[in-house]
Amino acid sequence: MVSRPPTEGELVERARRGDGAAFGALVRDHEELAFRTAYLITRNAADAEDAAQTGLTKAFYALPRFRRDEPIRPWLLAIVANEARNRRRGGGRREALALRAAHELPSAPADPAGAARSPEGRLLAAEERGELLAALEALGDDDRFVLSCRYLLDLSEAETAEVLSLRRGTVKSRTSRALERLRAHLEVEA
Amino acid sequence: MRELELRLAELREELVFPRTPRFELRLDRRPARIRRPLVVVLAAVAILAAGALALSPGARSAFLELFHLRGATVTLVDDLPEVESIRTLDLLGERVTRDEAERRIGFRLLDLGEPASIRFREGGIATLVYGAPDEPRLLLTQARGGLFDGFIRKSAGSGTEIVRVSVEGDPGLFVSGADHFVMFRNAEGAIDDELSFLAGTTILWNRGELLLRIEAEMTRAEAIELAQSVR
């Protein structure tokens, strides 16, 4: 008889009863996203690590209040994001987001002609992404956080709402306005 | 706009994040949530001044009403009344058992775990007290909406900040910085002068027909987390 891996729900139940190993297994798949969420808020790797570590530990103790019928990921991320916001106010050094170098970019993203991208094309694409990142960095915190959650972390609207403690409708409207402002920044730069 | 969204999604693939560390979760020790003990400051002699602020048309004209929740109003005023502070929980009502509080308030009390004590105020306001009896760390007050007013000094530099927040989708306010003046309304909607006091960092929010309020030494993120934890 082949045993199947425990489901998320089963791990939650075991963790709620104090099983630290079950909790470890539960959060393992979300650690990277938790850390990146914290990093996009704190913009400091040490603070992000601390926020994720503390947030995940707090989540263990908060499990009795977790609603069993909800997915665990946004709940975990929300706790970590709260920790990250606390640390952001500390005023520590902020690191700039970095992009992969042009020569590391994929060589064959589909273009209208279906042809592989040339070295010059890759350089141009890298420049465009640099400009896009600079425009994103120039936005205010509210705009940048919502766009970061939606596009850089690939969170759903519902997850973004939970992570940023917003209503889902607010996420939708804020995202729309942030995109407009981002476009305006890009047009000014152009 | 769709193209811009696609470009942002592509950007995700090009970002270089710091390497995700290997987390060693210390699950044997609960992280501290509230860093410093809260001193509950209750204003005993502010009653008349508070009444004048609330009821005088002249005084009211100096108000700049700012924020509304269902059953709560937070208003900026020019000056808070002079108060003499005392440290007691008696103004939050008499100490009762949970059963007694729930019988008198008419709904099941929400909590953040077992409180050190429960206070009940005539008019339908219950407060769960956490921490040592003479040095509470957190107050969780709950009532049906319509019972709370908050007044915040308007003058620049007071350091008071009011931020709209969302608690699991419900509207709330986070008030931090300098002390603010809190009044409760009675069942008839009039200000209950006997329950007015100076408060520190506070989050108040609606949940259904209830108005909930936590006062503690906490950051906004901690306040939202605490509010979300109320069950």
Please tell me whether residue A53 adopts helix, strand or coil conformation.
Answer: helix
pLDDT 10s digits, B78-137: 555 444 333 457 767 788 999 999 998 888 999 888 888 898 877 678 889 887 766 677
Whether residues B11 and A147 touch (CB distance < 8 A) is answered with: no
Cβ atoms of A95 and A44 closer than 8 Å: yes
Task: Give B89's contacts (C-beta < 8 A, 6+ positions apart).
Answer: B40, B42, B117, B119, B127, B129, B133, B136
A169-173, long-range: CB < 8 A, 24+ apart = A170/B166, A171/A146
Q: Give the model confidence (pLDDT) of A31-68 as tens digits.
A: 999 999 999 998 888 889 989 998 898 888 888 778 77
Q: d(Cα B43, Cα B195) in Å, to the nearest integer?
A: 9
Residue A124: pLDDT over 80: no
Size of interface A-B (CB pairs under 8 A): 121
Of B221, B173, B188, the closest CA to residue B74 belongs to B173
> How high is the pLDDT of residue A155?
95
State phi, psi for B221 to the nearest 5 degrees. -65, -40
Please give, rounded to a whole number of angstroms, the shortest distance from the CA of B10 to a CA of chain A: 9
B contact test, residue of A82, A141, A164 with most B CBs within 10 A: A82
To the nearest whole angstrom, how far is the Cα of B230 from the nearest Cα of chain A?
8
- Look over chain B and give the mean of its residue pLDDT values, rounded to a whole number: 67
